[in-house]
């Protein structure tokens, strides 16, 4: 059997079914008809000789063992194909074309919009793809071109710039504080509605390192944007970045000296992209904008 025989369109459909969980959803995502998507999967199964790649269940199409084994390779192919399209979107020396940026939910929604607005005003030929994820995008596989990370990158072949640390603190809306019992010590938090993480073990460990003996959370969510929104809605007390909280005069610090945590900020891209003009423009704009955000944390 010639393992190189299946065309990219078959692998692309396979990857879409893996992501979407059904032929109909994959077809919509790719602009195909459902019968065409089904035919692609059938042709791939025949070409590979592995048998069924998916089985039907109440939750949609579930990958078989063979499908699961192939999934990461198809995902890598899809990332490379998307990177090829971005690379071809403009000449390397042009201040135009597509750049894909990966950032955490909070940074992407709360910090980047004005930075990207200024970037677009200065370089209207640039087109930005913004991916919000709290996982680290694989820059070597070109899942993104430039990433904003809150941990020091460990991979080789990356150009990384340390921006500094963002201070984190406990905050609550003044309306919540006005209707609640006074807070003088950490122990007082036991009588308050504290907003925290649910199943994000890494975040729970980080918070517990600076705040041992966490109280029972009145609201648990691993979505950090939901945490920010809950604090703004006067639900209770939560952890916010100082520069974000300081924009809203209604948000008040709680136990300022008792809880101090810092979040490192790194801007990262593959070193092979440093000579691509649009990548360098975006990288430098993010460095400048995030540096201003970090400086606001120190006030």
Has residue 151 got a pLDDT over 90? no
CA–CA dist 298, 264 (Å, integer): 13
Has residue 2 got a pLDDT over 60? no
Predicted TM-score (pTM) above 0.85: no
Those residues whose C-beta lies under 8 Å from the C-beta of residue 65, and which sit 6 or more positions away, are: none
- For each of the domains in the chain, give its residue range(s) and CATH number, in order of start: 8-87 (1.10.10.10), 97-162+265-297 (3.40.190.10), 165-263 (3.40.190.10)
CA 185-189-192 angle, to 5 degrees, is: 140
pLDDT of amino acid 86: 79
- Strands 261-270 and 146-149 turn out to be antiparallel
Average the pLDDT over 46-66 and give the result.
89
CA–CA dist 134, 107 (Å, integer): 10
CA–CA dist 289, 299 (Å, integer): 16
- Strands 97-103 and 126-132 turn out to be parallel
* Dihedral sign, Cα of residue 236, residue 237, residue 239, residue 242: positive
SS3 at position 254: strand
- What residues pair up with 238 in beta bridges, in sequence order? 171
SS3 at position 194: strand
Mean pLDDT rounded to a whole number for the chain: 87
Residue 256 in tokens? 């300022």
Q: What is the pLDDT of residues 251-293, one digit of tens each?
A: 999 988 777 788 899 999 888 888 889 999 999 999 999 999 9
- pLDDT-derived band at 208 (thresholds 50, 70, 90) equals low
Average the pLDDT over 188-214 and give the result.
72
CA–CA dist 201, 220 (Å, integer): 12
Q: What is the pLDDT of residues 209-246, one digit of tens each?
A: 556 666 678 898 888 899 999 999 999 999 999 999 99
13 and 40 Cβ atoms separated by less than 8 Å: yes
């Amino acid at each position: 059997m010639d393992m190189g025989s299946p065309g990219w369109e078959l692998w692309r459909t396979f990857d879409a079914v893996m992501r979407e969980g059904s032929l109909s959803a994959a077809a919509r995502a790719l602009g195909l008809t459902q019968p065409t998507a089904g035919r692609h999967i059938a042709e791939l199964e025949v070409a590979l000789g592995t048998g069924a790649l998916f089985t039907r269940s109440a939750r949609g199409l579930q990958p078989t063992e063979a499908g699961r084994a192939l999934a990461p390779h198809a995902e890598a192919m899809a990332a490379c194909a998307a990177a090829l399209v971005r690379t071809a979107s403009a000449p390397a020396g042009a201040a135009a074309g597509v750049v894909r940026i990966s950032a955490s939910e909070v940074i992407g929604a709360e910090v980047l919009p004005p930075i990207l607005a200024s970037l677009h005003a200065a370089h209207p030929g640039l087109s930005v793809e913004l991916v919000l994820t709290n996982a680290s995008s694989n820059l070597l596989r070109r899942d993104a071109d430039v990433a904003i990370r809150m941990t020091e990158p460990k991979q080789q072949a990356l150009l990384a710039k340390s921006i500094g640390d963002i201070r984190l603190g406990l905050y609550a809306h003044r309306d919540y504080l006005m209707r609640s019992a006074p807070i003088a010590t950490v122990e007082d938090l036991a009588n308050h509605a504290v907003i925290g993480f649910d199943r994000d073990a890494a975040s729970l460990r980080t918070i517990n390192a600076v705040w041992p003996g966490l109280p029972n959370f009145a609201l648990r969510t691993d979505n950090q944007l939901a945490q920010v929104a809950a604090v703004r809605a006067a639900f209770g007390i939560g952890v916010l970045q100082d520069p974000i909280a300081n924009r809203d005069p209604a948000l008040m610090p709680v136990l300022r000296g008792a809880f101090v945590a810092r979040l490192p900020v790194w801007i990262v891209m593959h070193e092979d992209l440093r000579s691509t003009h649009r990548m360098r423009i975006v990288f430098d704009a993010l460095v400048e904008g995030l540096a201003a955000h970090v400086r606001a944390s120190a006030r």
